[in-house]
Structure 1
């Protein structure tokens, strides 16, 4: 038995009915539609009502069990209801829950663990501030600190980037669909191309590209006629999430930091989704030598879904005083206890190494599927943050969002849940709990293979009939 097997409800899906959603799920979905606001989104594409979950398995109210390769939008890095992390929570709940920013052993321990997991050469160079319960709070704080430190207002962000839904975070998010009906947001945000090699805007190939996207950024910073004032900061995800689980070309992050620092511009790495061991390192930038000025963290930091967010920043950019950034729930003691438990769990079970092992195993299976099914144009990512880009054919690389939509539904009916993203909503985004086992991966690959085969057969039959 695998060391993580007991942390899951089971290791295979269990579908008891002919079609999802079942009767009880439909009842609750209908009630939700009637009484809850229309901004509800996930159940529209994953129509289930959840009863309980453990590890990487979700059970709906009809008794069906699904493999969860969504992990609460990359939050549940240690799985649903991990009892070892919850033991820290249960102890803390009996002692103290809300303490604003007063010092507690619990909070200071969490800060020390964050710093202790940075590269050894950098640990003494950074400080930590908890700023609120969500990733958007961390982004707001990071931008505020950068502006205060530099005295400048402009910020450079990236196409495909997602940073949150609050005013500044949304202004930094490139998906214009999120801005419908909003006439204005925070000003002085400028976007440049992310190193999305599969769809390079400069029409280059990875083996011959001299990082033209970085040269474009250099022009923006150095050409007085670029139209972009000298920025306070550049913000980007070391691995893009909502943009399609895109990993930059090797050396890009290091070159970007060097370029930014040459022009006295601060660099913010948004590690809200790709952090907390999802990439196989505590933070994704740690796979290379880039050292940002500010790092935003949230999501997986709460271990099993407890809301906590913070920024890790270089001591030499400390620029704000007492009360310059506040928030009632910045450092909830229960969430911080969960973070302490999550770090201890990660160290106890060598989570980073396990993530890389499961990554290699899952990548191998996905590339086998790619060889068999041409609809998969690219398999990419790092650690357990993987994207499958669906295309209508591999020559034109025309996006196939409808194919992804059909694929997701086929997988759901068989017992596998995941989210979709990408510039054209044509990317299958796989972000499972990091404690998945080979048996769970095998079951997920089996579902994906069967779903792709059914889609291929359906297309062939339609073509023949036509």
Structure 2
């Protein structure tokens, strides 16, 4: 097993400015406000201006170094500025950058590696197609392919799902806040409950559930009065990301795919965030026996942050001809080279196993926080895609987004970055680079513990008379 210590600037945070943001960061954020469009979002909740990064450590313009458990929204799976992977991209830039969809050895190598990471029995059953450079582009392509193949128009998506911000992808995204000011998107999209056992839509207790969420979908598909026409496809995240890093229970995906195929409905797995080894396998559905028809990939596929997206789909789904789906920047050669480098790096250093071990270790450390914090309702995840759901009361499970907001700010001041999500914006979403070390995990959890201790001791809103804390 590789020791990844030297792939990072350090294994701990370093805060040198009096507060966050520092003086220079404040200056650049103000310039950004004046010059850049108001859709900018991340600096509003994580107010820093970045200068450089290596591994799981990012440095701002004031010299502060932060442990990055955000990883560019799950993009930097092999770490920031990974020199072994960057070498592939640098070499490619010397020869060819842009090639539309012409064949190159570089691209064919990446395709072979993608297919070669599928279960052995399935590798010959799939093809790969590249579209535009973002995950949203992959979703748009998946929708188009499903509709062309089936001749049908309806798509079924899931509550809590996030698939992107373009018109089609946004129509499949359940957060109404993203589209509250848009009068229309693509039509004929219908939502059913995701298997979110901590907040079961059917009020079932753990261990008593009979897969009612799949039964509900069965009613939608089989009842002619459900109001839902026969769909072209069902689209689902095998691990729900923005929805709160939710891992569905064993058997759920298998039952869902089986039901869809019984009704001649295609299944699209959105692996844009949960894929590229984040779960410990190439794609997160590979932890199950479910087999999708179409898979959307992006994010980590670009190695060290180069933009790329694509589809992996069964050969019997092939239904479009030349030019039916195009994109000027599809399959960029530098991004493909970085993908090749990332695949090789992961194989050479057994990152799959490292991810599983670090995920288990991080979960174990977070459970110690849960035992001491009255507001941490659940720790869940697979590999290094982990969620911490905060609630006001463990019994009622009332969401506690104000605590999460304060917790993120307190962690930022101490040198830890992460994003917040969940159905109620009450989930800390941890998606660090896969090459984190035990020392980095320990440093991150220590920051969380210190931040929790501070909030519970000093903020009147979060004080409780029945607290008996051992966080300090």
Counterparts of residues 177-256 of structure 1 (less than 5 Å): 177-256=177-256
Taking structure 1 as reference, are residues 148 and 35 closer, same or farther at Cα in structure 2, changes over 3 Å only? same
Alignment: residue pair count: 465
Deviations 1:159-211 (Å, cap 9, x if unpaired)? 00000001100000000010021000000000000001111111001200001
Q: Are the aligned partners of 2:370 and 2:376 in contact in 1 as well (CA < 8 Å)?
A: yes
- Deviation (angstroms), 1:2: 6.5
Equivalence for 1:11: 11
Equivalence for 1:106: 106
- Distance in 1, Cα, partners of 2:172 & 2:302: 24
* Structure 1 residue runs of 4 or more that deviate by more than 6 Å after TM superposition: none
Please say if 1:158 is aligned against 2:158.
Answer: yes
Q: Are the aligned partners of 1:2 and 1:437 in contact in 2 as well (CA < 8 Å)?
A: no
- Distance in 1, Cα, partners of 2:335 & 2:303: 9
Deviations 1:43-76 (Å, cap 9, x if unpaired)? 0000000010000000000000000000000000
Equivalence for 1:126: 126
Unaligned runs of 5+ in 2: 466-472
What secondary structure, in the 3-state scheme, does the structure 2 residue paired with 1:345 have? helix
Deviations 1:269-309 (Å, cap 9, x if unpaired)? 00000000000100000001100000000000011100000
Q: Are the aligned partners of 1:109 and 1:340 in contact in 2 as well (CA < 8 Å)?
A: yes
- Distance in 2, Cα, partners of 1:461 & 1:201: 29
Alignment root-mean-square deviation, CA: 1.3
- Deviation (angstroms), 1:17: 2.1
- Distance in 1, Cα, partners of 2:135 & 2:8: 27
- Distance in 2, Cα, partners of 1:278 & 1:317: 27
What secondary structure, in the 3-state scheme, does the structure 2 residue paired with 1:207 have? coil
Task: Name the stretch that deviates more: 167-176 or 452-461.
Answer: 452-461
- Distance in 2, Cα, partners of 1:334 & 1:205: 49
Equivalence for 1:354: 354
Q: Are the aligned partners of 2:2 and 2:349 in contact in 1 as well (CA < 8 Å)?
A: no
- Distance in 2, Cα, partners of 1:355 & 1:385: 10
Task: Name the stretch that deviates more: 200-209 or 265-274.
Answer: 200-209
Q: Are the aligned partners of 2:457 and 2:463 in contact in 1 as well (CA < 8 Å)?
A: no
Equivalence for 2:469: none
What secondary structure, in the 3-state scheme, does the structure 1 residue paired with 2:336 have? helix
TM-score under structure 1 normalisation? 0.98
Q: Are the aligned partners of 2:359 and 2:384 in contact in 1 as well (CA < 8 Å)?
A: yes
Deviations 1:139-176 (Å, cap 9, x if unpaired)? 00001000000000000000000000011000000000
- Distance in 2, Cα, partners of 1:464 & 1:158: 36
Equivalence for 1:295: 295
Taking structure 1 as reference, are residues 173 and 462 closer, same or farther at Cα in structure 2, changes over 3 Å only? closer
Q: Are the aligned partners of 1:78 and 1:303 in contact in 2 as well (CA < 8 Å)?
A: yes
What secondary structure, in the 3-state scheme, does the structure 1 residue paired with 2:120 have? coil
Q: Are the aligned partners of 2:57 and 2:66 in contact in 1 as well (CA < 8 Å)?
A: yes
Q: Are the aligned partners of 1:238 and 1:284 in contact in 2 as well (CA < 8 Å)?
A: yes
- Deviation (angstroms), 1:343: 0.3
Taking structure 1 as reference, are residues 2 and 124 closer, same or farther at Cα in structure 2, changes over 3 Å only? closer
